[in-house]
Amino acid sequence: MSALDSEQLETKVIAWRREIHAHPELGFQEHRTSALVERELTAAGIDTMRMVTTGVVGTIKGTRPGKTLLLRADMDALPLDERSGESFSSTSPGVMHACGHDAHTAMLLGAAVSLAAQRDRIAGTIKFVFQPAEEGPGGAKPMIDAGVLENPRVDAAVMIHVLPLLETGVVGWRTGPMMASADEFRLEIGGRGGHAAAPHLGVDTIPVAAEIVGALQRITSREVDPLENVVLSIGTIHGGQRSNIIADRTELTGTVRCLNETVRTSIPQRIERIARGVCAAHGARCTLHYEMGYPSVQNDTRLVNLIADVLREAPDITRLVELPAPRMGAEDFAYFAQAVPGCMLRLGVAPPGERDPAMLHAAEFRLDERALRTGVSVFRELALRLPAIV
Ligand SMILES: [Zn+2]
Ligand SMILES: [Zn+2]
């Protein structure tokens, strides 16, 4: 049987995706999107519940007993001016669905609506979670804190994220690390101002900052096991007032990405030790502000293997591929995967033959809507088969 019971459902899913795409909303402002989700779930006879303002949870209880599966889609867009050239481009200047969350929402909605009439084929309970604010500040953790994993207790959680590096029809999986943690830091360097023609009378924070930028890269190249993956990037440097004044303050900000939690928690001390050491060498001082963001997504091995088995026999998937490596981006689904066995899957959205597709978060990003059929099939097959075996 095809993933979509009828051509009409595929048409509906595409129409929802376009409707959401044309009206993108930022994190915790997804009012129009969650109203659409609620309306369609309710029309299909699915019980819905609101959570953390714009989050929506639809629940289908099967007619037979079984485990509880959580399927998750994110709904928010990015602060970006769209240049995709699509006829249904964003009507909100400065806001764009450039990460495919419009597709995630439409696919999960399609699966839910098509399963609503097939409760007799479901053993267990399916929670369809439409989550706000994945792009920040994060909606997964507030939903978990509000109890989305309880009543009934969730046994496994699965999400799909589009990926333009894969062709339409392809579904990618892997066990273990899937996405990186994303932490941020700000380093304030203090010195002593004065005339730039008399540097010996001040403490210039500009060369100190430059040395710190270089020295911090030794963390990834010399301090951490070379088989671990860590990215440390300085994103901004702000210092100084004028060309002939010694800068008494310079501020650096950066991000740190890791796949291993032990390595991750060691990084703040390493940054602080190096920054303080360089500052001390030059008579400067510094303060580090470090903020832990999303943890890394760790795919549960047993769950992933069960899922791969289910998807090997699923319709509308041309190829199931084991992804060779994680990506160093972040995903707040990590909180679900920390709390219960979790699996993040990748869905190809590049038209076959497309050599240079625009990437996620690019103003030019567009996806092949034929991939929506594959995504709906993945959600549907997992809902039908996973609760009985997980
Ligand atoms: Zn994104
Ligand atoms: Zn995303």
pLDDT at 317 > cutoff 60? yes
Q: How much is the pLDDT for 199?
A: 97
Output helix, strand, coil percentages for the chain, rounded to the nearest 5: 35, 30, 35
Say whether both 113 and 194 belong to one domain: no
CA distance 297 to 318: 26
Which of 275, 291, 307 lies at the terminal end of a domain, its last residue?
Answer: 291
Ligand with the closest atom to the CA of 73? 2
- 361-370 residue pLDDT tens: 999 999 999 9
290 is catalytic: no
Average pLDDT, the chain: 97
| Structural domain contains residue 2 | no
Give me ligand 1 centre to Cα 157, in Å: 19
- 223-243 residue pLDDT tens: 999 999 999 999 999 999 999
Tally of CA atoms within 13 A in the half-sphere of 73 that contains its CB: 31
| Structural domain contains residue 95 | yes
| Structural domain contains residue 168 | yes
pLDDT at 1 > cutoff 60? no
pLDDT at 166 > cutoff 80? yes
Say whether both 193 and 280 belong to one domain: yes
Q: Residues within 5 Å of ion ligand 2 by Cβ? A: 99
Instruction: Give the CATH number of the domain where residue 82 resides.
Output: 3.40.630.10
Stretch 214-223: mean pLDDT? 98
Give me ligand 2 centre to Cα 23, in Å: 17
| Structural domain contains residue 188 | yes
Stretch 153-169: mean pLDDT? 97
Q: Residues within 5 Å of ion ligand 1 by Cβ? A: 99
| Structural domain contains residue 1 | no
Ligand with the closest atom to the CA of 329? 1
Give me ligand 2 centre to Cα 86, in Å: 19
Say whether both 34 and 123 belong to one domain: yes
Q: What is the pTM of this model?
A: 0.94
Work out the percent of the chain whose per-residue pLDDT is above 70: 99
How does 247-258 read in b/e, with b if 16+ C-beta sit within 10 Å? Answer: bbbbbbebbbbb
Q: How much is the pLDDT for 2?
A: 46
Token pair recorded at residue 277: 């050491």
294 is catalytic: yes
Residues 337 and 368: beta-carbon distance below 8 Å:
no
Give me ligand 2 centre to Cα 316, in Å: 23
320 has which bridge partners? 171
Give me ligand 1 centre to Cα 100, in Å: 8
Catalytic residue among 10, 134, 369, 381: 369
Element (H, E) at 143: helix 140-145
Give me ligand 2 centre to Cα 331, in Å: 7
Helices (H), 246-368: 261-282, 301-312, 334-339
Give me ligand 1 centre to Cα 79, in Å: 11
Residues 111 and 71: beta-carbon distance below 8 Å:
yes
Say whether both 113 and 73 belong to one domain: yes
Q: What is the domain extent for residue 385?
A: 7-178+297-389
Which of 231, 257, 291 lies at the terminal end of a domain, its last residue?
Answer: 291
pLDDT at 3 > cutoff 60? no
Stretch 267-293: mean pLDDT? 98
Give me ligand 2 centre to Cα 53, in Å: 20
- 40-96 residue pLDDT tens: 999 999 999 999 999 999 999 999 999 999 999 999 999 999 999 999 999 999 999
Among 382, 303, 302, 295, CA closest to 347? 382
- Longest pairwise C-alpha distance within the chain: 83
Confidence of residue 23 (pLDDT cuts 50, 70, 90): very high
Instruction: Give the CATH number of the domain where residue 263 resides.
Output: 3.30.70.360
Ligand with the closest atom to the CA of 182? 1
Which of 291, 318, 344 lies at the terminal end of a domain, its last residue?
Answer: 291
Element (H, E) at 170: strand 170-173
Ligand with the closest atom to the CA of 163? 2
Work out the percent of the chain whose per-residue pLDDT is above 90: 97
Q: How much is the pLDDT for 7?
A: 84
Give me ligand 2 centre to Cα 102, in Å: 10
Stretch 88-109: mean pLDDT? 98
Q: Give Cα separations from 140 to 17, 229, 302 (angstroms).
A: 22, 25, 23
Token pair recorded at residue 341: 């066995």
Give me ligand 2 centre to Cα 75, in Å: 9
Catalytic residue among 30, 167, 294, 335: 294
Say whether both 312 and 282 belong to one domain: no
Give me ligand 2 centre to Cα 77, in Å: 9
CA distance 102 to 371: 13
Ligand with the closest atom to the CA of 346? 2
Say whether both 324 and 270 belong to one domain: no
| Structural domain contains residue 378 | yes
Ligand with the closest atom to the CA of 159? 2
Q: How much is the pLDDT for 5?
A: 59
